[in-house]
A = this chain, B = another copy of it.
Amino acid sequence: MRTFRLVISCPDRVGIVAKVSNFLAAHNGWITEASHHSDNQVGWFFMRHEIRADSLPFGIEVLREKFAPIAEEFSMDWRITDTEQKKRVVLMASRESHCLADLLHRWHSDELDCEISCVISNHDDLRSMVEWHGIPYYHVPVNPQDKQPAFDEVSRLVKHHDAEVVVLARYMQILPPDMCREYAHKVINIHHSFLPSFVGAKPYHQASMRGVKLIGATCHYVTEELDAGPIIEQDVVRVSHSDSIEDMVRFGRDVEKMVLARGLRYHLEDRVLVHGNKTVVF
């Protein structure tokens, strides 16, 4: 069922819900899902509606046009998206295949509603798996002495494919700051620890050293500060003294792929609203 998604955040005040509900009701909009949240600490309001496209007497362009004055009145940060316009996603990976294979299978079996434009990797290992899915694979090696040419090429490919979302599916390189800024809230990473614990390299080794009883994974938007961006989703799994680091890595893989798949899905469904360094996930 085709729906339009109206996603709003704005300073909180009385009457926002009424105004928006009225607007939708006036045009006979059939709301299939509605979510609100008021953050009292920062005085901000968040709202997301799914509206059946066929219940409205006009298309998305007219809907945007008619809604614009309300958005202006309430100083809204807003967007209206169309479930028939699949988002273009670029996946990036290195050598580890579990997250990439998981996302590709979800896409292949119609669970992830998006277009996968291409896969970019700094290694060539996963080419055959990707190409079996009919998706272009770009091998862009990164020279440790001079990484900029590689990132220029990555940037070019992302632009060329007009990507709306970039997913770092265990891409083991740190994106340069200007790319983080340019694609703010559009680059999704999976970090293999329960952040803010164990930022940076080898988090399972860090976890083993500290003797924690649960390990986790965190899906977050990439910002200039390493592993510090707004968190979209997290989960954990129990470990014990009898689990080696290799066991932790193995358990961790399952958490990583589940958390990344959920986080990406929320993003694709326009469920994630960022405010400051925190997310609202409807």
Contacts and interface: CB of A to CB of B under 8 A. Distances in A.
A122 interface: no
A96 B211 CA distance: 28
A83 interface: no
A185 to B, nearest CB: 13
Nearest to A253: B111
Contact of A281 (B17, B55, B216, B240): B240
Interface stretch (A33-41, A65-73, A160-168): A33-41
A222 to B, nearest CB: 15
Contacts of A240: 281
Interface in A210-269: 210-214, 216, 230-236, 240-242, 244, 250, 253-254, 258, 261
A258 to B, nearest CB: 6
Q: State the number of copies, please.
A: 4
Interface string A2-27: 00000000000011011101101110
A39 B240 CA distance: 12
A211 B277 contact: yes
A75 interface: no
Given A14-B25, A194-B214, A39 B231 contact: no
Contacts of A76: none
A148 interface: no
A76 B234 CA distance: 39
A81 interface: no
A98 interface: yes
Contacts of A196: 197-198, 210, 212
Contacts of A32: 38, 40
Contact of A241 (B17, B37, B212): B37
A280 B46 CA distance: 23
A109 interface: yes
Interface of A: 14-15, 17-19, 21-22, 24-26, 28-34, 36-41, 46, 55, 97-98, 101-102, 105, 108-109, 111, 128, 132, 194-198, 210-214, 216, 230-236, 240-242, 244, 250, 253-254, 258, 261, 277-281
| 4 pairs of A and B residues whose beta carbons are closest in the complex | A18-B25, A211-B278, A18-B21, A21-B21
12 contacts: A14-B30, A17-B17, A17-B25, A17-B34, A18-B25, A40-B244, A46-B241, A98-B105, A111-B253, A194-B197, A194-B214, A214-B235
